Amino acid sequence: MSKPIYLFAFSALFISACSSEPKEETEVVVETQKYAIPIHSFAQPNKAAVTHLNLDILVDFDSKAISGSATYDVVVNAGENRIVFDTRNLSIKEVTIDGMITKNWWLGPLKEFMGVPLEIEVTDNTKQVSIEYSTTEGAEALQWLNPQQTAGKEHPFLFTQSQAILARTWIPCQDSPGIRYTYEATVKVPNDLMALMSATNPTKIDSSGKYNFEMKQPIPSYLMALTVGDLRFAPIGDETGVYAEPSVLESAAYEFADMQKMLEAAEALYGKYAWERYDVIVLPPSFPFGGMENPRLTFATPTILAGDRSLTALVAHELAHSWSGNLVTNSTWNDFWLNEGFTVYFERRIMEDVYDKDYANMLAILGWQDLQHTLEEFADVPNDTKLKLDLDNRDPDDGMSDIAYEKGYFLLRTLEENVGREKFDVFLKEHFTGNAFKTMTTEQFLVNLKEQLLDGSEEKYAELKVKQWVYEPGIPSNVVAVESPLFAQVEAQLDSFLATGNPAVIDTAKWTTHQWLHFLRNMPEEVSVENLAAIDNTFGFTKTGNSEIAAEWYVLSIENNYAPANQAIKDFLIRVGRRKFLTPIYGALIKADPSKESAKAIYAKARPNYHSVSTNTLDAMLDI
Ligand code: BES
Ligand code: ZN
């Protein structure tokens, strides 16, 4: 990847894929709008934007703070005299411009969830801006774990979570997905720990505690990532490997054995992998997401270590983001479905190629069930069921629901089945290669869709109800139906169990995790405690080590007052901080006891283990 183009020099020639302006304007506009207007950032990149970051930081576990400097190469447009950064709960110490300390900088007023703009006076000759800073207790991106909260119990641990707008809580940055930059970093950590970033990474602990990183491809700030802990590396394929704490490494390497195959399947579908290496780090269980697509190094929850490789679609998902999201990036968080819907589609195509179509279709049907659930839940906020969101003046986290993922997936699958896979794949490959390292708006994508996939046909475009899919609530009638013979078997067995109450009558010998999930999800709303006890005793749900099955079972148990699961539920909630599991389980607890007392009693013990992403959601649910 070459250096970013300096926009003042090339502005008349350069129009990005993200501009929604009509094409004719290219000739007449002097300062072409290179960047989409940020929505959740104070930055004004069309006046002054960053192109490269040199980060030099110290990670101090005693004070639980990161401190150091963020030095940016910047481009300031002719006549402009300000550059604006995002900060939130950062302590800014000093600002230097081209090596000279300046006093001409200001912190603006605090705006809820957005933070505080840092405005720095510059000239249009300014080349470099350096900000010395430290994080504070309010750094929501960071989770500092004490040794007790790790697998090894001996060393502390730190990880970051920057998406959607938390990067600004640990680095002053222009925190909009439409603004990309390359970076290098020097990170000092305690001598016995390893540091890893979304960049070139070490494979061994360096006893100096000093690590250097480089990210040569330009990325948006939501992909800035750092983790520090007692970590080891195990290779999987030539370009793939896994990091984990020593006691977790072997099971992680076993679980992700097919990673290299996934990478090869992905490349065969939509073009060469742009980031050189693909590794996964398995974090402690408090990680609030299943996975996060930090470039070169996916961050993953240990709850996908099922022991039988059955939950690795998550790896395919995060890997797929190397194209959908990291290479072609949603222009703003209103276009989030372009990141996630494409990624779910791509994930299922990878799973189909590495395993088979039946596998991918089970995932699609489970996704469809999630989608129906979300549509019901959002009945009174129909606008949030549009693909194109309106998150102005809202926390982008509010818009991050299954709609982007599963409605997005079903739109793409519907398109695929209408135009044919061959044609759809040519279109998608061109989407990724033609827009590499650029941002994409929903509007630009729809133009490309009509022109390239539908040969400019207005009729086809209307017939496929594309606008309705994107700009209207709910699911249009032309959605494709997905069928699964493997799930049909489950439904038949479930019927015979419900008719007899006898688990011995059902044949589950070859069932996979996804079939078990379908079994549990298709239980009637009310199940007798006797029936629950019967299946629990026969199939061992309460003591399962499979987190997806466990989470499903716990909700069912709470809804039906099945007390033998209570202790396991409590232990799970205290150990695991993955929000996707926590919200339905706490939700069921609240429904069963609307005083919220039993939920609050568990939460009081569990909360110290959770990342702010999870506590923000749960505090609201539990009126904390
Ligand atoms: N990028 C997301 C996680 C995310 C989304 C973080 C929005 C912050 C804001 C990641 O790729 C993701 O989708 N993770 C899913 C896993 C997946 C298999 C659907 C998760 O964490 O559950
Ligand atoms: Zn994702």
Query: pLDDT for 259-290, tens place per residue?
Result: 999 999 999 999 999 999 999 999 999 999 99
Determine whether the shortest distance from the Cβ of 258 to ligand 1 is under 6 A.
no
Does 401 reside within a domain? yes
Does 608 reside within a domain? yes
Determine whether the shortest distance from the Cβ of 314 to ligand 1 is under 6 A.
yes
Determine whether the shortest distance from the Cβ of 349 to ligand 1 is under 6 A.
no
Q: How many domains, the chain?
A: 4
What does the alpha-carbon distance between residue 27 and residue 11 come to, in Å, rounded to a whole number?
10
Nearest to 245 by CA among 226, 263, 224, 227: 227
Q: Does 131 lie in the same domain as 175?
A: yes
Read off the pTM. Answer: 0.95
Q: Does 612 lie in the same domain as 578?
A: yes
Task: Please check the confidence at residue 3 and state whether its pLDDT lies above 50.
Answer: no
Sign, Cα dihedral of 199, 200, 203, 209: negative
Does 496 reside within a domain? yes
Q: Does 443 lie in the same domain as 519?
A: no
Atom of ligand 1 nearest to the CA of 405: 19
| 66 CA → ligand 1 middle, Å | 25
Does 29 reside within a domain? no
Give the pLDDT confidence score for residue 11 in this predicted structure: 33
The residue out of 174, 197, 230 marking a domain boundary is: 230
CATH number (domain holding residue 552): 1.25.40.320
Query: DSSP characters for 79-91?
Result: T--EEEEEESSEE
List the domain range (segments joined by +) for residue 614. 485-622
Q: Does 237 lie in the same domain as 142?
A: no
Query: DSSP characters for 507-550?
Result: --TT--HHHHHHHHHTS-S---HHHHHHHHHHH--TT---HHHH
| 243 noted as active-site residue | no
Task: Please check the confidence at residue 28 and state whether its pLDDT lies above 80.
Answer: no
Q: Does 151 lie in the same domain as 194?
A: yes
What does the alpha-carbon distance between residue 406 and residue 340 come to, in Å, rounded to a whole number?
8
The residue out of 411, 436, 471 marking a domain boundary is: 471
Task: Locate 273 and state its tokens.
Answer: 């992998």
- What's the distance, Cα to Cα, between the start and end of the chain in Å? 48
Pick the residue whose CA is nearest to atom 22 on ligand 1. 290
Q: Does 462 lie in the same domain as 517?
A: no
CATH number (domain holding residue 87): 2.60.40.1730
CATH number (domain holding residue 395): 1.10.390.10
What percent of the chain stands above pLDDT 90?
A: 94
Tokens 């990067």 sit at which residue? 167
Q: Does 226 lie in the same domain as 90?
A: yes
Strands (E), 221-296: 226-229, 232-235, 240-244, 278-282, 291-292
Beta bridge mates, 100: 97
Diameter of the chain by CA atoms?
81
For residue 537, how many other CB atoms are within 10 A of its CB?
A: 12
Confidence grade of residue 9 (pLDDT, cut at 50, 70, 90) = very low
Q: What is the pLDDT of residues 142-174, one digit of tens each?
A: 999 999 999 999 999 999 999 999 999 999 999
The number of the ligand nearest the C-alpha atom of 283 reads 1
Nearest to 215 by CA among 294, 161, 270: 294
Task: Locate 291 and state its tokens.
Answer: 């996975």
Q: What is the pLDDT of residues 522-555, one digit of tens each?
A: 999 999 999 999 999 999 999 999 999 999 999 9
Residue type, 119: E
For residue 347, how many other CB atoms are within 10 A of its CB?
A: 28
Q: Does 420 lie in the same domain as 512?
A: no
Confidence grade of residue 32 (pLDDT, cut at 50, 70, 90) = low
Pairing of strands 105-107, 142-145: unpaired
Does 405 reside within a domain? yes
Mean pLDDT of 223-250: 98
Confidence grade of residue 2 (pLDDT, cut at 50, 70, 90) = very low
| 270 noted as active-site residue | no
Q: Say how many CA atoms lie within 13 Å of 498 toward its Cβ.
A: 14
Q: Does 266 lie in the same domain as 373?
A: no
Sign, Cα dihedral of 574, 575, 579, 585: negative
Pick the residue whose CA is nearest to atom 11 on ligand 1. 292
Tokens 């299946």 sit at which residue? 535
Determine whether the shortest distance from the Cβ of 521 to ligand 1 is under 6 A.
no
Q: Does 147 lie in the same domain as 220?
A: yes
Q: Does 617 lie in the same domain as 506?
A: yes
Q: Provide φ and ψ at 461, rounded to 5°.
A: -60, -45
Give the pLDDT confidence score for residue 58 in this predicted structure: 99
Mean pLDDT of 504-528: 97
Mean pLDDT of 396-414: 97
Q: Does 332 lie in the same domain as 264?
A: no
Instruction: Answer whether 164's CB lies under 8 Å from 222's CB.
Output: yes
Determine whether the shortest distance from the Cβ of 317 to ligand 1 is under 6 A.
yes
| 292 CA → ligand 1 middle, Å | 6
Mean pLDDT of 134-143: 98
Mean pLDDT of 449-474: 98
Instruction: Answer whether 238's CB lies under 8 Å from 215's CB.
Output: no
Give the pLDDT confidence score for residue 137 in this predicted structure: 97
DSSP 8-state assignment for residue 452: I
Write down the H helix ranges in 2-77: 7-10, 25-28
| 183 CA → ligand 1 middle, Å | 23
Query: DSSP characters for 29-40?
Result: -SS---SPPPSS
Does 552 reside within a domain? yes
What angle do the packed helices 529-539 and 547-559 form, to 10 degrees? 160
Determine whether the shortest distance from the Cβ of 288 to ligand 1 is under 6 A.
no
Mean pLDDT of 376-402: 96
CATH number (domain holding residue 304): 3.30.2010.30
Q: Say how many CA atoms lie within 13 Å of 482 toward its Cβ.
A: 24
The residue out of 443, 471, 499 marking a domain boundary is: 471
Does 286 reside within a domain? yes
Beta bridge mates, 278: 240
Nearest to 215 by CA among 182, 177, 171, 173: 182
Atom of ligand 1 nearest to the CA of 580: 22
Helix, strand or coil, per DSSP, at residue 435: coil
Helix, strand or coil, per DSSP, at residue 67: strand
Does 27 reside within a domain? no
- Catalytic residue among 132, 255, 318, 352, which? 318
| 398 CA → ligand 1 middle, Å | 14
DSSP 8-state assignment for residue 568: H
